[in-house]
A and B are shown apart, each in its own frame.
Chain A
């Protein structure tokens, strides 16, 4: 096997085993030893031996093998543990450590280990060691390269960097107006360093999706047991990493989606057999990267969502019948995310599709993601979560509406256009040969519009609901746009969190607060006005 790619993992695990051995041997020297201690010591040596053999590190393999043999004798009580033996093991541990260090430094491993192996043999036979050397005394204290840090420290660091970014943007505007080259250079360098810090903090916060999904098999097992169904879970792409805050928020939505899939997607056994499906239901959780996003799909091969029933329920629930009937199936399916809408008729329901899907959607959108539902009757349902990889500090564009500043996430912006009033008089704007509906943002936000302007800025953003092409775009009419800024977005706390159309707040360099627009919410209102 090509061993080079496993070297980092080898070093990490071997070093863990070495410190385990050291702890164990020191306990032996102190005279407190139990058979379970010997068992775990044995396993440490055994693991180092196995891994070293696979990597082709012969001397490490042989030396750890010799020690493993000795431990084997101790475990089976064929040999009594003496101080001499413990000393010999410590002596050899230092040799092992040195060898592993050589691996780390890419030095050759053709080191003569016979002295060490002989010392072990002497100890086993109860002879005094030929070389009566104590392990070289340790005169320096070394710390591990890996540190354990509480997650909150990184939250705080990120918040501080966010504030620094805002201060930086004030400096940037000062430097635009300054003639001092030194000042301009310093601001540039400050920005570069700050980006470096930001980048490092973000990567330190990344955790593999596996940390979340490793418990899913158990969740699926428990839920499927409750509902008496046999469900197979498949997980793909769990090695992708996400910011820990995003991953954390994903926990309960994932459980909820899977619970829905088992309870309402996967049919009872008899129905599945009747439909010619495999007896066990299948749920696949698949994660993959798409540009700077991570997509997580949860798909089941169950009976799918009955759109007609969702429509009926929505109308019964008080939605205007005309609007519901006019919706495409795709839009109608999203109605299950309305509060209180469930298509399940069972009363003992713990998870009706709909009960709680509104919370799931809110949570996903709260971390800057989107949720979509695809379902084919008889074939199954797929929930697609489109998630940002990192959180909190996002690239935004500053825009102005009637003198009020707002931020829009840059990632959602397709294009910014400056147009004359007459270009958009029909309520649409030509873009790539298609017509994009244009809606005034002021009206959506309930801001009274002042004078009519000759020129407007149109922010063309993705309309999440559309399938492909320009169907998925919508233009927001604003007065003007300003700088791109890296903004640290603070979540809104009640009562501000109940405000419509905004999802977070940032503080600008001059201390002025500015809201981040909740684009999904705004777009859904804009779409209902535009069409």
Chain B
């Protein structure tokens, strides 16, 4: 199971909500980032199993971050997180390395289902 998660979202609101949902679901949030550039740094430093990337973020958006993270070829899953209506953009992200997405508004069941659905043995 993938359990260690880094969250990237410019809104503390969503970082807090996601953190609460994830800890309920037995995941461990080991780092938070407020933009794509920071997400890239945290992913390299903390080596999480999963990184959740918000699409719209300042400095470097989630799509760019997803591309650059997948180029690192680390054993981790990239999950995009975005608002309703952004599905086409997310599809693009899926092509460049993301493997799942979560649509805001966040629901506990949806978030946990998505992450649990990533499956796989640790150390891919």
In whole angstroms, what is the CA distance A49 to B54 when docked? Answer: 14
B87 in the interface (beta carbon within 8 A): no
9-residue interface stretch from B63-71, B72-80, B93-101, B102-110: B102-110
A9 CB-CB contact with B under 8 Å = yes
CB nearest to A224 among chain B residues: B45
Q: Are A13 and B105 in contact (CB under 8 A)?
A: no
User: When the two chains form their complex, are residues B13 and A43 in contact, meaning their CB atoms are under 8 A apart?
Assistant: no
Asked, given contacts A9-B12, A13-B12, whether A221 binds B45 with beta carbons under 8 Å apart, the answer is: yes
Taken together as a complex, chains A and B put the C-alpha atoms of A47 and B15 apart, in Å, by 12
Do A54 and B16 touch across chains, with their CB atoms under 8 A apart? no
**Residues on A with beta carbons closer than 8 Å to the beta carbon of B104:** 50, 53-54
CB <8 Å contact, B13 and A217: no
CB contact between A49 and one of B20, B31, B83, B108 (< 8 Å): that residue: B83
> Which residue of chain A lies nearest to B107 when distances are taken between CB atoms in the complex?
A1
Q: Which residues of B contact A92 (CB under 8 A)?
A: none
Q: Which residue of the partner chain A has the closest CB to B58?
A: A43
Interface string of A318-338 (1 = CB under 8 A from B): 000000000000000000000
Using Cβ atoms and an 8 Å threshold, which residues of chain B touch A47? 10-11, 56
Interface flags, A160-171, vs B, CB<8A=1, else 0: 000000000000
Task: Pick from B10, B30, B105: contact of A54, CB below 8 A.
Answer: B105
In the complex, are the beta carbons of B47 and A232 less than 8 A apart?
Answer: yes
**Is the CB of B124 closer than 8 A to any CB of chain A?**
no
Nearest chain B CB to A308 CB, angstrom units: 35
A9 to B107, CA, bound (A): 18
Give chain A nearest CB distance to B75 CB in angstroms. 12
Q: Is A406 an interface residue (CB 8 A)?
A: no
Q: Is the pair A54, B13 in contact by a Cβ cutoff of 8 Å?
A: yes
Binary flags per residue of B11-45, CB closer than 8 Å to A gives 1, else 0: 11110110011000000001100000000011011
Inter-subunit contact B108/A1 (CB<8 Å): yes
Closest 9 CB pairs of A and B: A54-B105, A221-B45, A53-B105, A217-B45, A46-B56, A50-B83, A51-B13, A9-B13, A50-B104
> Would you mind naming 15 contact pairs between A and B with Cβ atoms under 8 Å apart?
A1-B21, A9-B13, A10-B13, A13-B12, A40-B58, A46-B56, A50-B105, A51-B13, A53-B83, A54-B13, A54-B105, A217-B42, A217-B46, A220-B45, A234-B30
